[in-house]
Structure 1
Amino acid sequence: MRKPKVTPIDKEVFLKEEDFIVSKTDLKSRILYGNKIFIQISGWEENELLGQPHNILRHPDMPRAAFKILYDHIENGKEWFGFVKNLRKDGGFYWVFANISPTFDTNGNIIGYYSVRRKPREGFKNVIEPLYSHLKSIEQSGGMEAAVDEINKLAQKLNMSFNEIMIKIQKGIIDEI
């Protein structure tokens, strides 16, 4: 299936506190399952989402470096936490705080990925939007690896992993970088 072309517009949709978005993908990140809230907030119909690559939701404001770190984690059997700006079918967007984990078979082999996303805390954008904008500008001038290096420098400076930084932003412990 070809990924449909969606033109972003400046229309934000918000999750409710009680909303949890759940999806499952195969090893190529094709969507195998999405719960009702996932389907509703994405603006797509279930039959339009199933079988599509999860990046059907990738908003162009997202730095590629965030996804590089994501896949480095989950392909190595580790979970990942982070903030993601997703693109809706109508071009609008919504923010989530995501936890993505590999799914294993009985022999310990990774067979897919499982994601639970929830509403980010108030004020997270004050930290995340400048960080992601900075990473996007680094990607434009120096490539994705330069942006990954920038994230690694930040983690080293804060003496935390990427996941720890994201969790502390979500908890309101870090409110500026």
Structure 2
Amino acid sequence: MKNRQTPSSQERVMREGDFIVSKTDLKGRITYCNRVFIEFSGYQASELMGEQHNIVRHPDMPRGVFKFLWDTLAQKKECFAFVKNMCKDGSFYWVFANVTPDFDANGQVVGYFSVRRKASTKAIALMGGLYQAMLEEERKAGSKDACDASLALLTNTLKQQGVSYEQFVLSL
């Protein structure tokens, strides 16, 4: 049921104080979503439950960002990221996401929690430009090497600024 809508230029802006919360299983299938996620995504809860979280993935998001996210989660670490999501009707909304592994009593990862809040205007402008450059690198590299190419651009950008990824995103 992946979102097959055509992206539009219509932006939905989150309200201050709103939090989008979801939980997924190990494969990224949605097992919980709060009312704010339902509202902003434009889907009904029944349309989201059991679906891959990438149902809201916007095509303006580089694949390399999600590879970085999944690689970080595989190390049992939390990850922060700015994400442009697409609604069921093709409109979009930006979020600042925190994704963290969900551990059972034995310390095994059983799923993932994600809490998203409104992204700042400054962060959207900066990340939008960076993501466009990453997408261009992915396009030039071709499907097989797309993630590596865009991650290399991100890594080089961070190195030039002398900051870690986490320092970079948390400063915006």
Counterpart mapping for 1:85-124 below 5 A: 85-124=84-123
Change (3 A) 1:154 1:4: closer
**Aligned Cα root-mean-square deviation (Å):** 1.1
Query: Which among 158, 163, 167 is matched to residue 164 of structure 1?
Result: 167
Asked whether the 8 Å contact 2:40–2:87 carries over to 1, the reply is yes
Partner of 2:25: 26
Which whole-Å deviations, capped at 9, do the CAs of 1:42-75 have from their partners, x for residues lacking one? 0000000000000000000001111010001112
Tell me the residue number matched to 1:41: 40
Q: Which amino acid aligns with 2:60?
A: D
In the superposition, the TM-score normalised over structure 1's length comes to 0.91
What secondary structure, in the 3-state scheme, does the structure 2 residue paired with 1:126 have? helix
Name 1:172's counterpart in structure 2: none
Q: Structure 1 regions of 5+ residues with no counterpart?
A: 170-177
| Corresponding residue for residue 13 of structure 2 | 14
Cα distance in 2 between the residues matched to 1:130 and 1:90: 24
The residue that corresponds to 2:81 in the other structure is 82
Deviation at 1:126, TM superposition (A): 2.3
Of all paired residues, the percent bearing the same amino acid is 44
- The whole-number CA distance in structure 1 between the counterparts of 2:4 and 2:125 is 29
Aligned partners of 1:48, 1:66: CA distance in 2, in Å? 25
Q: Distance in 1 between matches of 2:134 and 2:3?
A: 26
TM-score (norm 2): 0.94
Distance 1:4 1:17, change over 3 A: closer
After alignment, is 121-130 or 54-63 more displaced? 121-130
How far did 1:122 drift? 2.5
After TM superposition, the structure 1 = structure 2 runs for residues 108-147 of structure 1, keeping only pairs within 5 Å, are 108-142=107-141, 143-147=146-150
Q: Distance in 2 between matches of 1:155 and 1:4?
A: 32
Quickly say closer, same or farther: Cα 1:4–1:15, change in 2 above 3 A: closer
Aligned residues: 168
Partner residue, 2:70: 71
**Counterpart amino acid of residue 36 in structure 1:** R
Per the TM alignment, residue 3 of structure 1 is displaced from its structure 2 partner at its CA by: 2.3
The answer to which of 88-97 and 152-161 deviates more is 152-161
Quick one: distance in 2 between partners of 1:4 and 1:98?
Answer: 20
Tell me the distance in 2 between the aligned counterparts of 1:4 and 1:87.
8
SS in 2 for 1:116: strand
Tell me, which stretches of 5 or more residues in structure 2 are unaligned? none
